[in-house]
Chains A and B, each alone.
Chain A
């Protein structure tokens, strides 16, 4: 197992390096850079003066050099652990990542927990009561949560209480250690919106995986031995059905960490998602590269953890 984990960790390095390189090149070949955005509302009028100002800004930001030169400098810094400075704040990109990472982590963990808490019982009920009214209800619910865009749900969750009851969540994020009630007022609705959306997908996975397991011979044997439904489900069926479910939950958690941009924006949660969105909008290359590297690392780590969990769930699986 240790060799397997070590090998996987080392394999992450070239994967992340390719991701970094692709991102580096793609961002810089797209027309329009941060200097164009800076200058668009300025008052410098003549062509020559404007060009001089553009050059000065590009030199300050290090984007006046050729692409290979910029890449070489960036990689050299990366190898020493320096992810660079934000092009907007001129501070290390890690400052904002350190500040916002825990916020997004809280949102992601809460949302995933809600998804699991809802999805597993719903999936179990649906599978064990296949073709009954209860099964239909759960299936319809999971389709609805899959189909309705969560940005719309989020907007309704924010707007309707304000319109009907004059209620609004605090507009400024508070850490749970500072003000738990205020924190939950803001983060919990966002987590529920996200969690229910992911819960729909997870419910369907639990249901289909469980249905397959319930058809196995060893389950028939367990029934014929006279075990109760609860014992059959808990001891024999569920654990074996969880492999695809754990996969989806792991991938969702990774995606949530990097991708809850719209939800963070709607609920005004200053997490990594809004940081990434702003970095894209402002062409803040260094911040965007650092964020993407982080997301890639998280997804790769989640994928490894998921693979390792298979060995625990299914003793037949062995890694070497």
Chain B
């Protein structure tokens, strides 16, 4: 039987990632126990890091406590109990606490310590650019041999937090069914599309959840591991408290939300991984200003920090901190409005691409740290074209002014065309520099006489999403799973900022995403990417940048979740007090 297990086959890809830039993230040796997926046709055995336990240290090792539930940095380390973790996440606006009615990353960051999913997505703790894997969470086993059926076996002994109105009752398959149905069908849910392939959910017994699918969807499995699928209890929703209260099955129990100040948690004494979490308290500080967040970290007010590019050198130089960097999707993308006749000629689109130097944009957007991106993010090894391929003459991400001018002349526009460039006027400096660079390059080389059109975010997003902008837009895209990048080219796609509406492209995307075998699908995605890049299909996605997480040296075993999936590694983090 072909291997359709989405993530399973990625576990056979080497975990070493050649980055081609100045990135040499420690590519430690991944333990064999991290690759938990069995042979084709069998049940998925979850990945995990539980090889520890054989040590002379006093007290249980973190490996023996977490088992295969987590990928630890050192399974033989002995955790210390107590203390408080303080973190100030990057997204500023926290409107309410309901994860389904807000797309703001803030609510997902602050709510993640309290919620759980059926399984979660993580990486090899020692190689932050290694392929992603699944770890057990509320489900300890899952069967996905039938592409139209998923069967999850739930963990024993899981309880909701002992807080009214849920009062610590056991978590069952009915709760999973409720939470997934809410995400898929509630009129207020902003993530219905994530579960559109689910036809029905059955619960043959309290420990088994069966998802019957209307079609194979390669994105469903990763969505089930993400914040869209957090297990929110019915009682809280029915009591109309979901916007202000968090009750889940996660390692930490929500205490209170002080608006624009803090969300605080205490450890869950009934957490299903006995012996965890290790810290007593967790605080999410809400700090709007980037500089203030960095200062809070450097002064020890927070002990874990997301550090912006501008502040990273100072933090790296300070021996009190550990800095980890890993690839992320740099979301700034140049869209050309599909409805605009000026871009109908492929030669004009290619000329625009050739006029821009991706290396310069890497410098402006990411201070030179990162990789060229075709379509799919480089985070997904095996799904992307190589850096050498992307830089080749076959595609148009390289700079070649002479060729750009030739193309414009061949298109009958030797003096260029005029067009607006819509952008967000209050975005960070890196973005503003990129806008200026793009405008200046296109104008100076007589490719496009650019008129800048700056708007604030909501206005710009409306224009991008409704494709009402004139000319071009330097907008936002970026996704989680590899196949989801293709969906941005689909008619009505979530971040289809160009407004591309081509039936043939839609059909090709459907064809690729319906391939059940993972390896075949990977190859098809690359082939599809090749075709789209050769035509510069109304958008240019420049680079993938770096994310930096830093923590003070006394924080141990902190493993951040992958971008786009909010999950709490804080359960297995401890503070090494002197």
On A, residues with C-beta under 8 Å from B are 30-33, 36-47, 49-50, 53, 56-57, 60, 88-90, 96, 99, 155, 158-159, 161-163, 166-173, 265-268, 270, 274-275, 277-278, 281-283
B309 at interface (Cβ–Cβ under 8 A)?
no
Q: Are A49 and B190 in contact (CB under 8 A)?
A: no
Q: Are A170 and B301 in contact (CB under 8 A)?
A: yes
Interface string of B450-463 (1 = CB under 8 A from A): 00000101111111
Cβ distance A190 to chain B, nearest Cβ, rounded Å:
11
B434 at interface (Cβ–Cβ under 8 A)?
no
Q: Are B458 and A168 in contact (CB under 8 A)?
A: no
B275 at interface (Cβ–Cβ under 8 A)?
no
B88 at interface (Cβ–Cβ under 8 A)?
yes
Residue of A nearest to B493 (CB): A45
Q: Are A278 and B93 in contact (CB under 8 A)?
A: yes
Q: Which of A37, A38, A46, A168 makes the CB contact (< 8 A) with B296?
A: A168
Interface string of B217-254 (1 = CB under 8 A from A): 00000000000100000000000000110000000000
Interface string of B340-378 (1 = CB under 8 A from A): 000000000000000000000000000000000000000
B135 at interface (Cβ–Cβ under 8 A)?
no
Q: Are A168 and B295 in contact (CB under 8 A)?
A: yes
Known contacts A45-B494, A89-B96, A89-B259; 20 further A-B pairs (Cβ under 8 A):
A31-B463, A36-B462, A42-B103, A42-B191, A42-B192, A43-B190, A43-B193, A45-B193, A45-B487, A45-B490, A45-B492, A46-B492, A53-B190, A53-B192, A159-B294, A163-B298, A168-B296, A267-B292, A278-B260, A282-B93
Known contacts A36-B465, A40-B103, A163-B298: A90-B96 contact under CB 8 Å:
yes
Residue of A nearest to B194 (CB): A43
Residue of B nearest to A99 (CB): B259
On B, residues with C-beta under 8 Å from A are 86, 88, 92-93, 95-96, 101-105, 187-188, 190-194, 196, 228, 243-244, 258-262, 283, 285, 287-289, 291-292, 294-296, 298-302, 314, 455, 457-463, 465, 487, 490-494
Cβ distance A38 to chain B, nearest Cβ, rounded Å:
6
Cβ distance A127 to chain B, nearest Cβ, rounded Å:
39
Q: Which of B191, B291, B462, B487 makes the CB contact (< 8 A) with A158?
A: B291
Q: Across the interface, which residues of A come within 8 angstroms of B262, CB to CB?
A: 171-172
Known contacts A30-B459, A38-B101, A171-B287: A45-B196 contact under CB 8 Å:
yes
Q: Complex: how many Å from CA A90 to CA B96?
A: 9
Cβ distance A287 to chain B, nearest Cβ, rounded Å:
10
Q: Across the interface, which residues of B come within 8 angstroms of A88, CB to CB?
A: 95-96
Q: Are A44 and B193 in contact (CB under 8 A)?
A: yes
Cβ distance A252 to chain B, nearest Cβ, rounded Å:
23
Q: Complex: how many Å from CA A36 to CA B459?
A: 9
Known contacts A42-B494, A44-B192: A270-B260 contact under CB 8 Å:
yes
Q: Are A31 and B459 in contact (CB under 8 A)?
A: yes
Q: Complex: how many Å from CA A99 to CA B257?
A: 13
Q: Across the interface, which residues of B come within 8 angstroms of A42, CB to CB?
A: 103, 190-193, 494
Residue of B nearest to A31 (CB): B459
Q: Complex: how many Å from CA A96 to CA B259?
A: 9
Q: Are A38 and B103 in contact (CB under 8 A)?
A: yes
Q: Are B299 and A40 in contact (CB under 8 A)?
A: no
Q: Across the interface, which residues of A come within 8 angstroms of B458, CB to CB?
A: 31-33, 36-37, 281, 283
Q: Complex: how many Å from CA A31 to CA B59?
A: 60
Q: Complex: how many Å from CA A251 to CA B56?
A: 71
Q: Which of A158, A173, A277 makes the CB contact (< 8 A) with B292?
A: A158
Q: Are B95 and A32 in contact (CB under 8 A)?
A: no
Q: Across the interface, which residues of B come within 8 angstroms of A169, CB to CB?
A: 301
Cβ distance B339 to chain A, nearest Cβ, rounded Å:
14
A-B pairs, top 7 by smallest CB distance, nearest first, are A168-B299, A41-B103, A32-B458, A88-B95, A43-B193, A42-B190, A270-B260
Q: Across the interface, which residues of B come within 8 angstroms of A41, CB to CB?
A: 103-105, 190, 494
Q: Across the interface, which residues of A come within 8 angstroms of B93, CB to CB?
A: 278, 281-282
Q: Across the interface, which residues of A come within 8 angstroms of B95, CB to CB?
A: 88-89, 282
Q: Complex: how many Å from CA A161 to CA B294?
A: 12
Q: Across the interface, which residues of B come within 8 angstroms of A47, CB to CB?
A: 491-492
Q: Which of B300, B461, B492 makes the CB contact (< 8 A) with A50?
A: B492
Contacts A/B (CB < 8 Å), 17 sampled: A31-B459, A39-B465, A41-B103, A42-B494, A45-B196, A53-B190, A57-B188, A89-B243, A89-B259, A162-B295, A171-B296, A172-B261, A265-B292, A270-B258, A274-B288, A275-B260, A282-B95
Cβ distance A99 to chain B, nearest Cβ, rounded Å:
7
Residue of B nearest to A157 (CB): B295
Q: Are B465 and A171 in contact (CB under 8 A)?
A: no
Q: Are B192 and A49 in contact (CB under 8 A)?
A: yes
Q: Across the interface, which residues of B come within 8 angstroms of A266, CB to CB?
A: 289, 291-292
Known contacts A159-B294, A162-B298, A168-B296: A31-B494 contact under CB 8 Å:
no
Q: Complex: how many Å from CA A42 to CA B463?
A: 16
Cβ distance A179 to chain B, nearest Cβ, rounded Å:
13
Q: Complex: how many Å from CA A173 to CA B92?
A: 16
Q: Complex: how many Å from CA A129 to CA B93?
A: 51
Cβ distance B426 to chain A, nearest Cβ, rounded Å:
9
Known contacts A268-B288, A268-B292: A56-B188 contact under CB 8 Å:
yes
Q: Complex: how many Å from CA A197 to CA B221?
A: 56
Q: Across the interface, which residues of B come within 8 angstroms of A46, CB to CB?
A: 492
Q: Complex: how many Å from CA A260 to CA B258?
A: 20
Residue of A nearest to B105 (CB): A41
Residue of B nearest to A277 (CB): B288
Cβ distance B317 to chain A, nearest Cβ, rounded Å:
11
Q: Are B461 and A37 in contact (CB under 8 A)?
A: yes
Residue of B nearest to A281 (CB): B93
Q: Are A90 and B260 in contact (CB under 8 A)?
A: no
Q: Complex: how many Å from CA A170 to CA B88?
A: 13
Q: Across the interface, which residues of B come within 8 angstroms of A53, CB to CB?
A: 187, 190, 192
Q: Across the interface, which residues of A come within 8 angstroms of B494, CB to CB?
A: 41-45
Q: Complex: how many Å from CA A282 to CA B298?
A: 30
Residue of A nearest to B104 (CB): A41
Q: Complex: how many Å from CA A171 to CA B463?
A: 36
Q: Are B461 and A166 in contact (CB under 8 A)?
A: no
Q: Complex: how many Å from CA A268 to CA B197?
A: 43
Q: Across the interface, which residues of B come within 8 angstroms of A274, CB to CB?
A: 260, 288
Known contacts A41-B103, A266-B289: A166-B193 contact under CB 8 Å:
no
Q: Complex: how many Å from CA A40 to CA B496?
A: 11
